[in-house]
């Protein structure tokens, strides 16, 4: 990359998944598919991405991210490369359990995690610091192997948040104070090794 060229990096959260318990559960790294609404979201995302020149495309290996990428980029000539270390935070014993069940069964650690998302994880699961320890190296490898050209990455709210915190000074513990919408688009520009956040959680519905 020369001194004037700016590399564009798009971080995109997956569309809405099909979830039990009316969506009121901890699903983390569980591999739920997209809902019908999520499929429609991904189709609208395709319209927003149509004018973006594709370079290299990556995705979490979980279905909801991979399927979002496949729908959003349907008909375009690109390979979607799965990256296991970009899958969502692993919530251990809480995965697949409703909010009410977790609050009742693991009340003490539930309360601790409520004030320390960054350092406290569920039993057998990851904290957000743990998550960041695998997402940042995975992302850095992508950057090293793709020093120029557009990068598009389809992932998860927690994954994108840990990257934002690492590069732009957000605090891990503030994750629920900032919106991270389904199909939200985050645009980063990289030049001379420096990164600038251009758009955060841009939605196709706000265009």
45: in domain: yes
User: Measured over all CA atoms, what is the biggest interatomic distance in the chain, rounded to whole angstroms?
Assistant: 56
Residue found by looking up tokens 């840990």 in the block: 162
25: in domain: no
142: in domain: yes
Q: How many domains does the chain have?
A: 1
90: DSSP letter: P
Residues of the chain with pLDDT under 70: 1-4, 204-207
134: in domain: yes
116-125 pLDDT tens trace: 999 999 999 9
Containing domain of residue 187, as a range?
7-20+34-91+128-206
55: in domain: yes
107: in domain: no
2-16 pLDDT tens trace: 556 899 999 999 999
73: in domain: yes
What CATH number is given to the structural domain containing 81? 3.40.50.1240
Q: What is the pLDDT of residue 207?
A: 37
Cα–Cα distance between 43 and 45 in angstroms, integer? 5
Helix H or strand E segment including 84: none
């Amino acid at each position: 990359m020369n001194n004037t060229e700016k590399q564009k990096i798009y971080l995109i959260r997956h569309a809405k998944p099909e979830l039990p318990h009316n969506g009121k559960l901890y699903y983390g790294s569980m591999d739920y598919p997209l809902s019908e609404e999520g499929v429609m979201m991904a189709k609208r995302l395709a319209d927003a991405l149509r004018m973006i020149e594709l370079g290299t495309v990556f995705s979490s290996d979980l279905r909801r991210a991979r399927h979002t990428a496949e729908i959003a980029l349907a008909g375009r000539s690109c390979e979607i490369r799965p990256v296991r270390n970009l899958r969502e935070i692993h919530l251990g014993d809480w995965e697949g359990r409703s909010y009410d069940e977790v609050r009742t069964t693991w009340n003490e650690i539930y309360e601790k995690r409520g004030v320390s998302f960054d350092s406290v994880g569920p039993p057998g699961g990851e904290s957000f610091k743990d998550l960041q320890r695998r997402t940042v190296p995975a992302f850095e490898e992508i950057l090293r192997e793709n020093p120029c050209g557009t990068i598009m990455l389809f992932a998860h709210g927690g994954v994108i948040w840990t990257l934002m915190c690492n590069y732009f000074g957000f605090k891990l513990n503030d994750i629920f104070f900032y919106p991270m919408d389904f199909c939200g688009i985050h645009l980063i520009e990289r030049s001379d090794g420096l990164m600038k956040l251009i758009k955060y959680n841009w939605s196709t519905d706000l265009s």
